[in-house]
Structure 1
Amino acid sequence: MSRYQLAGRTVLITGSTGGLGSAVARALRDRGANLALVDLDADLAQRQASELGPETVARGWSADVRDLDSLQSAVDAAAEHFGRIDVVIANAGVGSMAPLETIDPAAWERIIDINLNGVWRTFRAALPHVKSERGYMLAVSSMAAFVHSPLNGPYVASKAGVWALCDATRLEVRHHGVGVGSVHPTFFKTPMMDDVHSDPAGNTLWGGNKSGLWKMIPLETVVDALVRGIERREDLIVPTRTNALAARIPGLVRPFVDRFGFRGTTIPDAMAQASTSGWISR
């Protein structure tokens, strides 16, 4: 497969000022991509953009992934500014550390809303622009989509949901020439992991992520795999070989279903007949 060249293309990133978002933005800019940087904090996003280049190549916008109208405004403004959006990276995410029995219901709903619904909103807002460029959409999931840990119920549920959402969406847009992928890193150094290690429960559960199964990997490993995955328009991106088997086993049957389960124009035909409410019941 020929490499999907990033130079001159526009990439939109949500959660752009976070640990992973910042590192990915720098790597993409090094590839010559134009950057639409989207974050809750407009000042931070603008400051980040100014450090990466003039407004012709990098610009920041404020948006909340919990608000579709907010996201749509930012995405449309970015498309107007750069003239296109080729790639969108749904990167915004949060975590938690509490068992189902005691977690604050508001915390559960917030995590699901940002991590899962936020990906849906990001894809929904960006798809018309990405579709016109036959581009690529990527969501940041986690190895937690496949390895489910205690005290992380809403996080692992949301990340597994992101993986499933990407698979379903890929089938819906493949006839438009749009690619959809999910990236599944294990633990790596970010401000979120600092929060985990400063939390007594998190430190007890993961032992500081210093060794064994839960040992952290370098941020650079994740960034390199993510950028390479975009350039290859991969369906599933797993940054480390040691985790590849655990990530790929659950999806072994998917390529066969994708290819043989929905032949010809079955999917676009069904989409044309679908109700906007999502279901018709009596």
Structure 2
Amino acid sequence: MTYAINGRVIAITGSTGGLGRALAIALQAKGARLALLDINADAVAEQVQSLGGGQDVWGGYVDVRSWEAVEAGINAAAAHFGGIDVMIANSGIAIASPMEKIAPEAFDRVIDINLNGAWRTFKAALPHVQQRRGYLMAISSMAAFVHSPLQAQYTASKAGVWAMCNSIRLEVRRLGVGVGTVHPTFFPTNMMDKVHADPAGVKIWGGNSKGLWKMITLEEVVAAILRGIERREDMVVVPAKNAIPARIPGLIRKWIERAGFRDRDIAEAVELAGDGLN
């Protein structure tokens, strides 16, 4: 059964980036009510106006590196709309730098935004999404499976997002909440503009003009994400021809999940678990 987008409240972090903007436009065309969240408050305000404003398009400030900011922003969005159906963790950055040169704080920043930021987003959104038996979606990458040089920080963060979502999916399925990850190859965004302005990035991926690293269109990625939401998919791979290397690591995992983790046992374990601080 199709999970209709029309009328759903869909929240997006990183809403003013290239993918975030394109997603917002496409989701609005499908009838979604939008909660647009970004660290750039002025850009969010402009984005809300560009989409017509009104009660069905709301914007707010979120810095995914701050738990307090994420919780406040998502709670404000839920208060405005009366709830949230779908949460898309879209905020992300990339840096091309080898371990021998990268500054430790630069490595930490990529991990904190891409991985920890997605976790904070899901953590804050879950109480609202749970009430509507909705769907959590995180934007990962083919970098979760294809680990390139000069990008240990990025590949680790995106592989971490994939693994994190696989674990969270088991925890929340008894609540009627779906969890999915999106794994596109290279596509045009402001992030890719920075890669192409970086001699190291150009050297590694050859300008992404041909071969294994050739870019696909932004429209292809957006269309795949919309299909993923409508199907509440566990994994969205773009383009589809990349599905084999992306899905092979999960074949055994699916068997283990079915054989080893029963919902009743997970529910009991959740009740027994602490907050991790002791």
What is the TM-score normalised by the length of structure 1? 0.97
Q: How far is 1:54 from its partner?
A: 2.6
1:126-275 aligned at under 5 Å gives the runs 126-275=125-274
Alignment partner of 1:104 is 2:103: yes
Identity among equivalent positions (%) equals 57
Which range moved further: 154-163 or 248-257? 248-257
Compared CA separation, residues 122 and 264, structure 1 to 2 (3 A): closer
Q: Distance in 1 between matches of 2:263 and 2:220?
A: 38
Q: Distance in 1 between matches of 2:76 and 2:186?
A: 34
> For residue 130 of structure 2, what is the amino acid of its counterpart?
K
> For residue 18 of structure 1, what is the amino acid of its counterpart?
G
Instruction: Provide Cα deviations, 1:206-264, integer angstroms capped at 9, x if missing partner.
Output: 11000000000011000000010000000000021221101000111122122221124
Q: How far is 1:63 from its partner?
A: 1.0
Count of residue correspondences: 278
Q: Distance in 2 between matches of 1:241 and 1:267?
A: 33
Match of 1:44 in 2: 43
> For residue 217 of structure 1, what is the amino acid of its counterpart?
I
Paired residues of 1:13 and 1:90 also in contact (CA < 8 A): yes
Paired residues of 2:174 and 2:263 also in contact (CA < 8 A): no
SS in 2 for 1:94: coil
> For residue 85 of structure 1, what is the amino acid of its counterpart?
I
Compared CA separation, residues 165 and 264, structure 1 to 2 (3 A): closer
Match of 2:31 in 1: 32
Paired residues of 1:15 and 1:21 also in contact (CA < 8 A): yes
- Runs of 4+ more than 4 Å apart: none
Q: Distance in 2 between matches of 1:262 and 1:61?
A: 38
Runs of 5+ unmatched residues, structure 2: none
Q: Distance in 1 between matches of 2:57 and 2:258?
A: 38
Q: Distance in 1 between matches of 2:116 and 2:38?
A: 16
What is the TM-score normalised by the length of structure 2? 0.98
Paired residues of 1:71 and 1:122 also in contact (CA < 8 A): yes
Match of 1:90 in 2: 89
Q: How far is 1:275 from its partner?
A: 1.2
Runs of 5+ unmatched residues, structure 1: none
What RMSD, in angstroms, separates the aligned Cα atoms of the two structures?
0.9
Q: How far is 1:136 from its partner?
A: 0.1
Q: Distance in 1 between matches of 2:109 and 2:264?
A: 38
Q: Distance in 2 between matches of 1:213 and 1:179?
A: 31
Match of 1:118 in 2: 117
Q: Distance in 2 between matches of 1:153 and 1:54?
A: 40
Match of 1:22 in 2: 21
> For residue 28 of structure 2, what is the amino acid of its counterpart?
R
Paired residues of 1:35 and 1:58 also in contact (CA < 8 A): yes
